[in-house]
Amino acid sequence: MGAERYRPPLFSVAPMMEWTDKHYRTVARIISKHAWLYTEMLAAETIVYQQGNLDRFLAFPSEQHPIVLQIGGNNLDNIAKATQLANAYGFDEINLNCGCPSAKVAGHGCFGARLMLDPKFVGEAMSVIAANTDVPVSVKCRIGVDDHDSYNELCDFIYKVSSLSPTKHFIIHSRKALLNGISPADNRRIPPLKYEYYYALLRDFPDLRFTINGGIDCVDEVNAALREGAHGVMVGRAAYNNLWNTLAHVDSAVYGEPSSGLTRRQVLEQYQVYGDAVLGTYGNNRPNMRELIRPLSGFFYSEPGNSLWKRKADAAFLNKNITTVKSFFEETLVVIPDAVLDSPVAELPSGRKDLFANVRGLLPPPYETRTEEVVAYAQS
């Protein structure tokens, strides 16, 4: 498809394992037409070894553009094959995961955040991806790993990868990764945010594009980052846990489009058509009702009836008479007030005013290339 067909990725939803699946992306796209969406991370090996079942992993409705495929892996042959197989599905960009600290990922050989310790391999992997696709490529990484967390070490990684490959876009999670066995949740909480590293990268690598990620919880904070000069902002759990109040503001507040006036009821009516069309189509009762409703867990966040709706939903999952998404909604939405279902999104919630306070005064000294000589990528 090509990224140039769409509005720039000022706002994107982070790839999140078991969260940003096809069903979540469907409801997200109903709400926002311009947000960039990412797949869950898919291991290159999964793509290669599931060639007979690729639609389940890679197919998506055309309405989900712009969409980025995130892959993970540490085997160049499998990364190349996975890229080739993914081409037929028309993703708008392919991203390599160099930031996931999960033991399931980072602990599996050299995978996820551990790849930051081997920028030469990452450069080779990005060259392999680029050689096997016609769409842009990007890297998602942390600002460091364990004790390798200085600004110069981050710059060495960026410099090597961008010199050894055609990678021009980096998504920077502004925390380092701790690979000592703590949970992914703690890796999003314990390492401090260092937004100054991100903004220093803008200064020191003016020919590259950087998206900021980590700790940004609402659209007001997205706009604060953009006003400070960020090229783009990636939001993770807030776009899932507070789905409506986050995504319903993106097109108007970030992209300057007129408000659509969309209501929650209208979103659910469109999603119901999708849900009933795909229910059970993978075989073995997949996707099932629970999988289709899961992306809506944050749809009524902080609204009257939210807790009761979740209890009704849990009971409905066990009700054998509820066999369609339509009947599920008929059974459960009675507890949500009409005023919640039929009102357009409320005013833009205020974010933290000090999130980027004095970030320019905290910038580390400019990067001076101290890495060994690298051979620059020659684009044919």
Write out the catalytic residue numbers. 100
Check if the beta carbon of residue 295 is closer than 8 Å to that of residue 325.
no
**Annotated binding residue 34:** no
Check if the beta carbon of residue 97 is closer than 8 Å to that of residue 140.
yes
Check if the beta carbon of residue 15 is closer than 8 Å to that of residue 235.
no
**Annotated binding residue 280:** no
**Annotated binding residue 51:** no
**Annotated binding residue 237:** yes
- CA torsion sign for 174, 179, 180, 182 is positive
**Annotated binding residue 194:** no
For 256, list phi and psi in degrees, rounded to 5: 75, 15
For 13, list phi and psi in degrees, rounded to 5: -100, 130
Q: Which two tokens stand for residue 280?
A: 């059970």
Element (H, E) at 69: strand 67-72
Q: Which two tokens stand for residue 43?
A: 């291991």
**Annotated binding residue 213:** yes
**Annotated binding residue 87:** no
Go through the chain and tell me how many residues it has: 380
Q: Beta-carbon neighbour count of residue 53 at 10 Å?
A: 12
378: left (phi over 0), alpha (psi -120 to 50) or beta: beta
Residue position matching structure tokens 């067909």: 5
Do the bridges between strand 42-43 and strand 137-142 make them parallel or antiparallel, or are there none, so unpaired? Answer: unpaired
**Annotated binding residue 90:** no
**Annotated binding residue 126:** no
d(Cα 72, Cα 113) in Å, to the nearest integer? Answer: 10
Binding-site residues for FMN: 15-17, 70, 140, 173, 213-215, 236-237
